[in-house]
Amino acid sequence: MASAATQSSCRVRDLYPSIDWGSEVIVLGIESTSHTFGVGIASSKPPYILAEAKHTYIPEKGGIHPREAAQHHVQVAPRILMEALSEAGLSIRDVDAVAVALGPGLGPCLRVGATVARALAAYYHKPLVPVNHALAHIEIGRLYTCLDDPVVLYVSGGNTLVAAYAKGRYRVFGETLDIALGNLLDAFARDAPLPGDLAPPPYVKRGMHVVDLCAERGSEPVDLPLGVVKGQDVTFSGLYTAAVRAARRLRDRVGDVCLAFREIAYSAVVEVTERCLVHTRKKQVLLVGGVAASPVLREKLASMTEYHGASWGAPPPRLAGDNGAMIAWLGLLNYMAGLTCSIEDAVVKQRWRLDDTPAPWRA
């Protein structure tokens, strides 16, 4: 697979100085926190990511139904697992450890990945490595961008946060107080409603979110609430309500509503990132998560970082969204740092916070 073959040009020993990179270690990682079931395989030797296979549950209508998503994962799990192993040209016996994302995420979905991981670990006598999904996004992002100490903007369907590393772990600087950015965009696209040709599904067409495509038809943004940034946090629910109402009231100006809506929403997360950048005096920004693919968000982030003389980067879209390779990569780091757990302790943690997760290999 092309994306999995892309190599980072930096040296892992610069990114992870405290890990002994001498011996070859191979870790298989399982992702099932939300709509994607993915399996990845990582190695401590270049090209680091040996395989990346996944399948994503797409609801026929509405948002993700956790139970239906979990059923999807159960159905595709064996096939995705085999796909990853054959892509890497390995047997499960060649793997040194099995990693799994235990949270944060949707309970029913998490339990599928955890069950598969526990079964593999027990049957093949492999160490089990617990992985935090948010931290996995960050570390695969660092591997592919070579940013050694970035401010992180993580935006997806279920998460919106800005974090930076300090003293042993990533600290959450700001986050959403209600819904995530991706959730906001999708819910607005469903409920506005958007013009017939743009109405989801799908939510993304030709690499653009339908809300962005709708915004291209606008020229004069309508008045919507600007108070999305609350100190270091963001709150989107008021913007959502006002935008849906405006779209229903101003039928002939839906493009202008979309324009105002997405401008306010994207600018808010960029502003919080800017606050964190200035506050921490760091010089890099890493963009990860499913919404990282948005060209409009990327442009805004580029503009902001250029103003502050900072650089920014994002992993390729396939690895920016949910995937198994990132779980394998963080699993490898955790395994090499000695962070494993017993099968009994491998229980899902829906509310596992990023700032409750140690990152000892950063020091």
CA distance 175 to 155: 10
Tokens of 72: 């999807």
Nearer to other proteins, 124 or 307 (CB): 307
Give the nearest distance from C-beta 348 to other proteins in angstroms.
Answer: 12
Contacts of 82 (CB under 8 A, 6+ apart): none
CA distance 76 to 89: 20
What is the enclosing helix (H) or strand (E) of 16? none
Nearer to other proteins, 39 or 277 (CB): 277
| CA atoms lying within 13 Å on the CB side of residue 167 | 5
Burial status of residue 91 (CB atoms within 10 A of its CB: 0-12, 13-18, 19 or more): exposed
Could you tell me whether strands 26-31 and 36-43 are parallel, antiparallel, or unpaired per DSSP bridges? antiparallel
Give the nearest distance from C-beta 275 to other proteins in angstroms.
Answer: 4
Q: Residue written as tokens 């073959």?
A: 5
Nearer to other proteins, 40 or 289 (CB): 289
Could you tell me whether strands 160-166 and 151-155 are parallel, antiparallel, or unpaired per DSSP bridges? antiparallel
Give the nearest distance from C-beta 154 to other proteins in angstroms.
Answer: 12
Nearer to other proteins, 54 or 349 (CB): 349
Give the nearest distance from C-beta 286 to other proteins in angstroms.
Answer: 17
Nearer to other proteins, 20 or 356 (CB): 356
Give the nearest distance from C-beta 226 to other proteins in angstroms.
Answer: 5
Give the nearest distance from C-beta 6 to other proteins in angstroms.
Answer: 28
List interacting residues with other proteins (CB under 8 A): 104, 171, 173, 175-177, 220-221, 223, 226, 229-231, 259-260, 263-264, 267, 270-271, 274-275, 277-279, 299-301, 303-304, 307, 350-353
Tokens of 111: 């339990």
- Say if residue 201 is preceded by a cis peptide, omega within 30 of 0: yes
- Say if residue 17 is preceded by a cis peptide, omega within 30 of 0: no
Tokens of 318: 């396939």
SS (H, E, C) 317-334: HHHHCCCHHHHHHHHHHH
Give the nearest distance from C-beta 294 to other proteins in angstroms.
Answer: 13
Give the nearest distance from C-beta 303 to other proteins in angstroms.
Answer: 4
